[in-house]
Copies of this chain bind each other. A is one copy, B any other.
Amino acid sequence: MITINENYLKLQTSYLFSDIAKKVEKYTKESPDTKIIRLGIGDVVYPLPEVCIESFIAGVKELGEQSSFKGYGPSNGYDFLRSKIAKFDFQDRGVEVFEDEIFVSDGSKCDTGNFQELFAQDIKVAIPDPVYPVYVDTNVMAGRTKGYENNSFKGLVYLDATKDNNFIPNLPQEKVDLIYLCFPNNPTGTAITKEELTRWVDFAKENKALILYDAAYESFVTDSNMVKSIYEVEGARKVAVEFRSFSKSAGFTGVRCAYTIVPKECIAYDKEGGEHKIFDMWNRRHSTKFNGVSYPVQKAAEAVYSDEGRKQVQNLIDGYMKNAKLIFRELTALGYDCTGGVNSPYIWVDAQKDSWDFFDTLLKKTGIVCTPGEGFGKCGKQYVRFSAFNTYSQVEEAMKRIKNNKKEL
């Protein structure tokens, strides 16, 4: 009898964004005249940079000619892309990351979800709250949790990010083995300083723990005091894996390209304390269960690093950050307590009521979609996330609608 992985039964019934999509669909049917404004899901709206389009098409054309056709590529990504990532995203900024430590993939969601496979089932996992749901769900599937109660899974150590700690979680009070961190944070929009991140790296070293550092939003860091890569912190190469993406910077959410850095010094242990290179394990996993990113997609990603490409990407980011500033300013002026929005496209707003209630009322009264904080964990119960991923005119219109309906929200 084919029996199931019963850990799947512990998962909560639905995925946050599907729930939201259903509510929006229902609203659209009931209010066909209101034009919905989406400030919910973190999906980009502006077209791909021109240089990416050109390079993407050139890559496709190569596949149409016998002389330049390419079949299976290296499962870790082509050197032409990995060398540029190493140079422009790290080495030119004084950060030590080498080309052969970079694994190109089809998305940070996949990589942050799959990485936990490399570790024992009985490790203690620390996960921020609020948090991108994939970290939690994939650990539930792997059997690292027990019952579910009060919007939390037993067996996980939650790193609460609240107003009291300025949305930077405190170090765990107990020993943990695997720590997920995300800065600039999704959903709170908080960035982290080198000094603060050093405390986490030191904690990991002391505890022989590993940090999975999700830096999918690093390109939105504008404040020079804030860290873009965990490898800016001394010693991080021994205890941290970093996830990066072209999704939010270059608008690749529908194109699918990301990368993960696994330094060669990064170590995990067998039960006898023997050391094993995490690089070797992820390499084995990646080459066994993955077959590389589409060649023309990698060509499109490469164009991000040309002179013109970096300008065009910066324009995209500047556009979204202009939105973020507007949302932050307007909501603050209306009396909402806001965080984020400075080094991040997300604004985390104290809704002063239950987050799903706020979501429902906002949708009903204004046709605006935000994301209820409860979907990110118990600490989000009274918060909502506004995303700056929309056009400036739509964001302006949204702020007007909220102002006009403030009393009812």
Contact = CB atoms under 8 A, between A and B. Distances in A.
Contact of A53 (B64, B137, B177): B64
Contacts of A138: 288-289
A114 B11 CA distance: 18
Contacts of A273: 1
A397 interface: no
Nearest to A143: B121
A66 B65 CA distance: 30
B289 A63 contact: no
Given A209-B2, A269-B1, A256 B292 contact: yes
A284 interface: yes
A207 B288 contact: no
A36 interface: no
Contact of A4 (B8, B276, B300): B276
A270 B6 contact: yes
Most chain B Cβ neighbours within 10 Å, of A60, A61, A285, A292? A60
B294 A4 contact: no
B47 A64 contact: yes
A392 to B, nearest CB: 13
Nearest to A292: B256
Interface in A49-97: 50, 53, 56-57, 60-61, 63-66, 69-73
A287 B177 contact: no
Nearest to A121: B5
B56 A271 contact: no
Contacts of A150: none
B117 A291 contact: no
A268 interface: yes
A1 B285 CA distance: 21
Given A61-B53, A109-B290, A141-B288, A269 B71 contact: no
A43 B71 contact: yes
Interface string A338-363: 00000000000000000000000000
Contacts of A121: 5
A284 B64 CA distance: 36
B254 A119 contact: no
A253 interface: yes
A116 to B, nearest CB: 9
Contacts of A66: 46-47
21 contacts: A1-B177, A2-B119, A2-B209, A3-B120, A3-B177, A3-B271, A6-B270, A8-B281, A15-B287, A44-B71, A45-B69, A47-B69, A53-B61, A53-B63, A72-B253, A73-B254, A113-B288, A134-B289, A137-B288, A141-B285, A141-B288
